[in-house]
A and B are shown apart, each in its own frame.
Chain A
């Protein structure tokens, strides 16, 4: 299951999951809509190993500013609370998995 985050739940999700994968998206963005099923598949593949979530950048500019997001979709990967990878643009499940496995 992909957890839907808000600005107020964002940090706790990163703290609660040793590996957190967060898809920053917006409803008007075509590539973002194509990412949605990919993130669903990813959450199943990573069940018990990582937390998978999505954050609508339209709901709060603060998160975009904090992480320097200027293009969507952007996938943020955190390990032990630290941002270790920022992936810009539409990505396949396999591509994202590779970054999680190798970083």
Chain B
């Protein structure tokens, strides 16, 4: 598939970027899931326009409809990879489809990375990891569990089959694309439906306890919530994130790499709807200009 602009993220910043990019006649694709936006479960009362407290999910659904009405396309999946390609960029989504484009807008918001269960903090670096790509080598021949419901967990589980003797993929609400689930299972991943409750061990991780009482003996636990992290996607595109995972931009919301824009929570605080929407508009306008050669 080809497009002028690909927007990664389907929250207020991404949707507003889509609206302004398509209004500038750029062929625009928004990739992401509405429910992954921090706004989805929020109630908003400090935003211009609505006369009373409004559900974030309503604003998002309306925003997506507006973007589609201006010609945007929407792919309801996570992005699993990004790269520079022939003077532009190539974005891969969960189904395996690739989109070639001239400008990218990173509007992923801030990734939720922590599970928040007992043992998670205590065993960080002693069996608990948030990066399978980084730490896979330490688990050769050992048993591991990968926790997560989406494409990040799928990719990590598949990766770990090349190192660990046994790989469990523990998912409470599986929502990864079937293509990724099939690939993981074909690689030997054992999928377990369940909710992680506690990480147990002595000097290092020894087991994962699930709600309901099932205990799985493992040496390592990889927590991979959501899709590929915004920091990893930025690095895939040649942008170096800050230590706090935020991405620096100029006044046009363009990053250090020409053609790569960022907007919303990922550029730093304040994490407010109004700021996300404002930056989304700026990024969308300038991404369309960059892609169409009319900056």
Q: Please, what's the 1-or-0 string for A61-93, where 1 marks a CB less than 8 Å from any CB in chain B?
A: 000100011111110000000000010111111
Contact digits for B115-138, partner A, Cβ 8 Å, 1 yes 0 no: 000000000111111110111011
Binding site for B on A (CB under 8 A): 26, 28-34, 37-38, 57-58, 64, 68-74, 86, 88-93, 95
Q: Is the CB of B134 within 8 A of A72?
A: yes
Nearest CB of A to B44, in Å: 32
Q: B241 touching A34 by the CB < 8 A rule? A: yes
| Cβ B137 vs Cβ A26 within 8 A | yes
Indicate the size class of the contact surface on chain B: 20 to 34
The answer on a CB contact under 8 Å between A26 and B134 is yes
Nearest Cβ on chain B to A87's Cβ, whole angstroms? 9
Q: Does B243 contact A (CB under 8 A)?
A: yes
Not counting A34-B235, A70-B139, a sample of 20 additional A-B residue pairs whose C-beta atoms are within 8 angstroms of each other reads A26-B134, A28-B134, A30-B232, A30-B235, A31-B134, A33-B235, A34-B231, A37-B240, A57-B137, A64-B138, A68-B126, A69-B138, A70-B125, A70-B127, A71-B129, A71-B135, A73-B134, A88-B124, A88-B125, A95-B243
Q: For chain B, what secondary structure do more than half of its interface residues adopt (helix, strand, loop), or is it mixed? A: mixed
| B243, A90: Cβ atoms closer than 8 Å | yes
Q: For the complex, what is the distance from the CA of A51 to the CA of B105, rounded to whole Å? A: 40
B110 CB to nearest A CB, Å: 15
Residues of chain B contacted by A29 (CB below 8 angstroms): 131, 133-135
Asked whether, in the complex, the Cβ of A32 is within 8 Å of the Cβ of B127, the reply is: no
* Chain B residues at the A interface, C-beta cutoff of 8 Å: 124-131, 133-135, 137-139, 203-204, 220, 231-232, 235, 240-241, 243-244
CA separation between A71 and B136, bound complex, in Å? 9
**Nearest chain B residue, comparing its CB with the CB of A73:** B134
Measured CA separation A30–B130 after assembly (Å): 12
Contacts of A58 in B (CB 8 A): 137
CB distance from B292 to the nearest CB of A (A): 32
Give bound CA distance, A95 to B125, whole Å.
17
- Of B129, B131, B133, B220, the most chain A CB neighbours within 10 A belong to B131
Pick the 3 closest A-B CB pairs, nearest first.
A88-B125, A29-B134, A92-B243
Least distance between A81 CB and chain B CB atoms (Å): 22
Bound: A56/B130 CA distance, A: 19
Which residue from chain B places its CB closest to the CB of A29 in the assembled complex?
B134
The contact sample of 5 A-B pairs, CB cut-off 8 A, is A30-B133, A31-B131, A71-B125, A71-B128, A74-B125
Whether A89 contacts B130 in the complex (CB less than 8 A), given A34-B243, A71-B124, comes out as: yes
Please tell me if the beta carbons of B232 and A70 are within 8 angstroms of each other in the complex.
no
Q: Are A38 and B243 in contact (CB under 8 A)?
A: yes
How far apart are B226's CB and chain A's nearest CB, in angstroms? 16
Q: Is the CB of B133 within 8 A of A28?
A: yes
- A32 touches which one: B134, B203, B240 (CB < 8 A)? B134
| Complexed CA–CA distance, A34 and B244 (Å) | 11
Q: Are A69 and B134 in contact (CB under 8 A)?
A: no
| Most chain B Cβ neighbours within 10 Å, of A26, A31, A88 | A31
Asked if B204 and A70 make an inter-chain contact with CB atoms under 8 angstroms apart, the answer reads yes
A97: shortest Cβ distance to chain B, in Å? 12
Which of A30, A37, A38, A74 lies at the interface centre, i.e. has the most chain B CB atoms within 10 A of its CB?
A: A30
State the CA gap A31–B235 with chains docked (Å).
10
From known contacts A86-B125, A91-B243, A92-B244, infer whether A30 and B138 are also in contact, taking CB-CB under 8 Å: no
Residue of B nearest to A74 (CB): B125
Given contacts A71-B125, A86-B125, contact A30 B240 (CB under 8 A): no
B contact residues around A95 at 8 Å (CB): 243
State the Cβ distance, A50 to closest chain B Cβ, in Å.
19
A24 to chain B, nearest CB (A): 11
